């Protein structure tokens, strides 16, 4: 399986915030944004491996700025690291007010996807090649984020998280 570069997995998705997407305050509902983010992340992971994928985990999503009714949502998703059968996808979200002509950051998050074979069993994914400074930074941090996810999910004991321990123990 041929390794792929980070930009090969990039997805840019744009949505318009309509009345049905908002809460009582005229802000985009968090659940709707998470739905759009899940679609963008799945497209990115699927583009990287060329197989069907399923969401395995969603990291903390903090909302920095609300996105208002009538604004545009821009979501960028790209694979930051590929493990054996899973891929971490980093997402950045911006709102854009077209009438005032400004763009602002709303949030960012990490999603994890697993590639599936025709029997719906996990299958190997291509390795990822990180080249730019930012790609390498996200690639290097992905192992620590993965270990934290596994600990929180009860799939790894804290004592086995060598990458995380290295941050705290000399």
Residue of 143, 49, 17, 39 whose CA lies nearest to 91: 39
Least confident residue range of 69-78, 99-108, 142-151, 155-164: 155-164
Least confident residue range of 48-62, 81-95, 144-158: 144-158
What's the confidence (pLDDT) of residue 167?
67
- Please check whether residue 36 is in contact with residue 44, taking contact to mean a CB–CB distance below 8 angstroms: no
Beta strands in the chain (DSSP E): 4-5, 11-16, 53-58, 72-82, 86-97, 102-115, 128-129
Give the chain's domains with CATH numbers. Answer: 4-130 (3.10.129.10)
Q: What is the mean pLDDT of residues 111-117?
A: 98
What does the mean pLDDT of the chain come to?
94
Q: What is the pLDDT of residues 54-74, one digit of tens each?
A: 999 999 888 899 999 999 999
**DSSP H helices in 105-161:** 133-152
SS3 77: strand
């Amino acid at each position: 399986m041929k390794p792929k570069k980070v930009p090969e997995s990039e997805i840019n998705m744009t949505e318009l915030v309509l009345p049905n997407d908002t809460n009582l305050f005229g802000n985009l509902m968090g659940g709707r944004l998470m739905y759009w983010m899940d679609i963008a992340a799945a497209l990115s992971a699927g583009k990287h491996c060329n197989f069907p994928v399923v969401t395995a985990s969603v990291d903390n999503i903090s909302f920095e700025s609300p996105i208002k009714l009538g604004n545009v949502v821009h979501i960028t998703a790209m694979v930051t690291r590929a493990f054996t059968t899973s891929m971490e996808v980093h997402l950045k979200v911006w709102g854009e007010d077209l009438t005032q002509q400004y763009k602002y950051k709303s949030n960012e998050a990490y999603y994890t996807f697993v590639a599936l074979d025709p029997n719906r069993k996990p299958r190997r994914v291509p390795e990822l090649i990180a080249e730019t400074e930012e790609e390498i930074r996200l690639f290097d941090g992905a192992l620590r984020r993965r270990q934290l996810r596994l600990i929180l999910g009860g799939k790894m004991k804290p004592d086995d998280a060598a990458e995380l321990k290295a941050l705290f123990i000399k």
